[in-house]
Amino acid sequence: MSENTNNRVYNFSAGPCTLPLEVLEETQAELVDYHQLGMSLLEMSHRGPVFEPIYEQTRRLALSLWGAPDDFDVLFLQGGASGQFPMVPMNLLDKTSRGAYINTGHWVKTALNDAQYSGDIYQAWTGEHESFSRTPDSSEIELQEHTRYVHLCSNETIGGLRFPVFPDLDVPIVADMSSEMLARAIPWEKFDIVFGGAQKNLGPAGVTLVYIRKSILGSLNKSIPRTFSYAAQQANQSMSNTPPVFAIWMVNKVLHWLKRNGGVSEMQLRATTRSKLLYDCIDGSEGFYQCPIQTAHRSQMNVVYKLPTPALEKAFLEQAAEHKLMHLRGHRIVGGIRASIYNAMPLEGVKTLVSFMQDFKNKNG
Amino acid sequence: MSENTNNRVYNFSAGPCTLPLEVLEETQAELVDYHQLGMSLLEMSHRGPVFEPIYEQTRRLALSLWGAPDDFDVLFLQGGASGQFPMVPMNLLDKTSRGAYINTGHWVKTALNDAQYSGDIYQAWTGEHESFSRTPDSSEIELQEHTRYVHLCSNETIGGLRFPVFPDLDVPIVADMSSEMLARAIPWEKFDIVFGGAQKNLGPAGVTLVYIRKSILGSLNKSIPRTFSYAAQQANQSMSNTPPVFAIWMVNKVLHWLKRNGGVSEMQLRATTRSKLLYDCIDGSEGFYQCPIQTAHRSQMNVVYKLPTPALEKAFLEQAAEHKLMHLRGHRIVGGIRASIYNAMPLEGVKTLVSFMQDFKNKNG
């Protein structure tokens, strides 16, 4: 057992967030002198003989571990999912086509706002009048003519809801999966693009993975700058500009960790187990803890709940920290409590949290 | 002396490139358990109480160490200098204004190409017919009516030339200083924007510093996505999207190293000393080594030269590597040899290279 284990806290941050300890220790060991080459990987050219194979291995692992079909490639870009919000319409739309958006909360509202400058887009469904407490059925989504893609957010990190299944639609889906990257199996045939920042399930902040169907590359808009062009980036192995070497290196290590731990199917099982423990605790608390999301639509990554009063929430957060349960404060937009439990969160962390929640309820309920 | 010192090579890569060893060792020591908080800084929220002061300190250091006046702020963005090529016209131009470009080689040609989709731009001077062997005098730059800014690249990393002084013009300069960030003092009154990737003088790849005159923020284009908007990013402390926490953390450490080592004025002196050693060796080689750049315009960061034959260049690179002199191959576009000697390159590295060059010439000249 590592000397770091004893002091380690349980970090429920929404992202950047907890990473596997063994990945951190491996990175630390290699940081200054990479494989006795006399320099750090941080100092090496992205075009050199050391990094290029790391990049290629990371690309292949990211595709194969998630079961992406041969027609998909994955790009490693910068700017986060937020950078993709304008890039999607910029690349996919022309003067006659439109983008549809399924509004499930904060991150789709943001995407709508950012995408409006790059093409003709519209809202095909909104959960706003139901306080964003669920995702829609396929039959509720109203697509207009000439719709090129449907944007959805598979899991709303702030709201704490997710699509339990992806809708059946006649047009390809573009999915923001920032908080569910390699955390659940997905029906690839429905998607043209799947993107997300690494800083939740895959590594540190600073790199964005964009899975893209290769057969659409030829039809994308070519009158855009290299850095923003999926076709240019794909043709240049994501090196139209200098890539974030360190972040990709760490994603490589996290992917290896994921592989050693059973892959996406095992991650999905663990996520179900972890989130069920928390939702069972919430639902069994006789209303002391309340989750605002409809049962079937609850996130397995971000468990959102409230306590009876703001004063109790403050006390909850303070006492949780004393038990090494950190960063449980809900997003400032919605308040309350949020436990983000991504791939690298140990089951023990969730058990400790549940135990603390029961104690806290018994003392204050 | 560190145990890493003995095995360390001299890394002349153009970027990512050599970093101060003490910065790497400090990062390594803190990587897994940051200040005994039980988690890595890589796992911490960008909005939390640990990272926010680091961000603020980095911002202040980046401004003060380069002597930026009070009217400047600095943003920490993603996407490299390449990401700035479209962002500059996107933010600065409207339907009546134009951007002028001083074409000194590869990076301005690339900027011209990337900027064309976001506004009305034109070439105000080109060195193409002189093989990009010099920068222009102010009198040669032909500005047209309604020019909002003049884009220049202070130092062409591939070509190996730089502006010895910045031109006197009637419109503000936007400078791509990727390879000279905090490596020379600059006349801030001439600039509206100065930008550059960190991966040469300031840290690892993955963060781009954009110095911007605050008084222009109010007049910038507002109809652009948050991530690409200087005004939105400045209003949100560069956190319109999740910032690259690790890269900013390392920039902080490099800035502290720079401060301990005498600041920008000392970096400038060292750059002059280092580059003079190399150019003296080249010019004293009776034509064995040839630098294609006019003397007054030669880069102090990227020393570019050729040998009499490609076979000799191949032998040069192989034998240099045996002396731990690494990554001296010129960019594939121009070939030849390139020694990139940024802030963190020790004088000893350049002396070792010069000594090797003299030996190689004596044996093969």
Which stretches does DSSP call E strand in A42-135?
72-77, 98-103, 120-126
Q: Is the domain of B57 the same as that of B108?
A: yes
The answer on A235 and A132 residing in a single domain is yes
CA A23 to chain B, closest CA, distance in angstroms equals 9
Which chain A residue has its CA at the smallest distance from B6's CA?
A: A38
Nearest to A19 among B18, B28, B42 (CB): B42
Q: Which chain B positions have a beta carbon within 8 Å of A241's beta carbon?
A: 79-83
CATH code for position A278: 3.90.1150.10
Report whether pLDDT(B214) > 60.
yes
User: Stretch A177-188: mean pLDDT, rounded?
Assistant: 98
Q: State what percent of residues in chain A have pLDDT above 90.
A: 95
- A247 in contact with B at a CB cutoff of 8 Å? yes
Question: Are A254 and A209 within 8 A, CB to CB?
Answer: no
DSSP A183-212: TS---GGGEEEEEEESTTTTSSTT-EEEEE
Tell me if chain A has a CB within 8 Å of the CB of B222: no
Residues 154..193 of B with a Cβ closer than 8 Å to A: which? none
Does B79 sit within 8 Å of A78, measured CB to CB? Answer: yes
Which residue in A13, A43, A82 is closest to B11 by CB distance? A43
From B109, B200, B253, B361, active-site residue = B200
The verdict on B270 and B248 lying in the same domain is no
**Are B170 and B274 found together in one domain?**
no
Residues B56 and B38: their CA atoms lie apart, in Å, by 23
Cβ–Cβ contact A26 with B under 8 A: no
pLDDT digits (tens, 9 = 90+) for B218-241: 999 999 999 999 999 999 999 988
N-to-C CA span, chain B? 38
Q: Indicate the residue among B203, B236, B260 that finishes a domain.
A: B260
At A97 the pLDDT is: 97
Mean pLDDT of A208-215: 98
Query: Is residue A228 less than 8 Å (CB to CB) from chain B?
Result: yes
Q: What is the mean pLDDT of residues B47-53?
A: 91
Average pLDDT over residues A263-282: 98
B45 to chain A: which residues are within 8 Å by CB?
13-17, 327
Q: Is the confidence at residue B1, as pLDDT, over 60?
A: no
Domain boundary among the residues A227, A260, A293 is at A260
Proportion of chain B above pLDDT 70, given as a percent: 99
Examine the domain organization and report whether B246 and B293 are in the same domain. no
What b/e string do you get for B185-222 counting C-beta neighbours within 10 Å, with b at 16 or more?
Answer: ebeeebbbbbbbbbbbbbbbbbbbbbbbbeebbeebbe
Distance CA B317, CA B307 (A): 11
Instruction: Give the range among A46-55, A278-287, B275-284 with minimum mean pLDDT.
Output: A46-55
Residue B9 within a domain: no
pLDDT value for B2: 64
Preferred mutation among A10, A31, A40 to probe B, highest tally of B CBs within 10 A: A40
Nearest chain B Cα to A7, which residue?
A: B38
Q: What is the pLDDT of residues A62-119, one digit of tens each?
A: 999 999 999 999 999 999 999 999 999 999 999 999 999 999 999 999 999 999 999 9
* Active-site residue (options: B66, B73, B120, B176): B176
CA nearest to B150, candidates B126, B124, B128: B124
| Three-state secondary structure of B165-218 | CCCCCCCCEEEECCCCCCCCCCCHHHEEEEEEECCCCCCCCCCEEEEEEHHHHH
With a cut of 70, say whether residue A229 has pLDDT above it: yes
Q: Is A227 close to B16, i.e. CB distance below 8 A?
A: no
How much is the average pLDDT of A287-315?
Answer: 98
- The pLDDT of residue B6: 80
Count the domains in chain A. Answer: 2
**What CATH number has the domain bearing residue B98?**
3.40.640.10
Pairing of strands B208-213, B72-77: antiparallel
Contact (CB, 8 A) for A147 and A92: no
User: Does residue A286 sit in the same domain as residue A187?
Assistant: no
In a domain, residue A80? The reply is yes
In a domain, A4, yes or no: no
Cα distance between residue A27 and residue A23, in whole Å = 6
| A257, HSE (Cβ side, Cα atoms, 13 Å) | 23
Judged by CB atoms closer than 8 Å, whether chains meet at A245 and B4 is answered as no
Residue B241 falls within a domain, yes or no? yes
How far B10 CA lies from chain A's nearest CA (Å)? Answer: 8
Entry pTM: 0.97
Residues A223 and A181 in one domain: yes
Is there a catalytic annotation at residue B324?
A: no
Domain's final residue, options A260, A279, A310: A260
pLDDT for B74 equals: 98
pLDDT at A5: 78
Residues B166 and B289 in one domain: no
Residue B297 covered by a domain: yes
B110, B206, B327 ranked by CB distance to A247: nearest: B206
B30: pLDDT strictly greater than 80: yes
Q: Would residue A273 count as lying in a domain?
A: yes
- ipTM strictly over 0.90? yes
Let me know whether A49 and A146 are in one domain. yes
For residue A79, the chain B residues in CB contact (below 8 A) are 78-79, 83, 227, 241
Nearest partner of A239 among B271, B15, B21, B59, judged by Cα: B15
Q: What pLDDT shows up at residue A51?
A: 94
pLDDT band, very low/low/confident/very high, at A4 (cuts 50, 70, 90): confident
For residue B207, which residues of chain A lie inside 8 Å, CB to CB? 206
Question: For the ranges A20-34, A186-200, B35-49, which has the lowest average pLDDT?
Answer: B35-49
- Average pLDDT in chain B: 96
pLDDT number for residue B77:
97
Give chain B positions within 8 Å (CB) of A158. none
Instruction: State the catalytic residues of A.
Output: 107, 176, 200
Q: What is the pLDDT of residue B80?
A: 94
Pairing between β-strand A325-326 and β-strand B208-213 as defined by DSSP bridges: unpaired
Q: In Å, how far from its chain's centre is CA B267?
A: 13
Q: Is residue A233 in a domain?
A: yes
Residue A160 inside a domain? The answer is: yes
Is the pLDDT assigned to residue B21 strictly greater than 80? yes
User: Which residues, numbered 318 to 357 in chain B, qualify as contacts with chain A under a Cβ-Cβ cut-off of 8 Å?
Assistant: 324, 326-327
**Does residue A108 sit in the same domain as residue A211?**
yes
Of A38, A46, A224, the CB nearest to B7: A38
CA A95 to chain B, closest CA, distance in angstroms equals: 16
270-299 in chain B: CB under 8 A from chain A: none
| Residue A358 lies in domain | 262-364
Comparing alpha-carbon positions, the chain B residue that sits nearest to A9 is: B38
User: Which one of A7, A16, A247 has the shortest CB-CB distance to B43?
Assistant: A16
Q: Are residues A161 and A247 in the same domain?
A: yes
For residue A2, is pLDDT > 90? no
Which residues does residue A339 pair with via DSSP β-bridges, in sequence order? Answer: A303
Cα B354 off chain centre by: 24
Interface subset of A 302-321, CB within 8 angstroms of B: none
My answer on whether B68 and B189 are in the same domain is: yes
Query: Per the CB < 8 Å rule, is B244 touching A38?
Result: no
Q: Write down the pLDDT at residue A365.
A: 86
Question: Which residues from chain B sit within 8 angstroms of residue A342, using beta carbons?
Answer: none
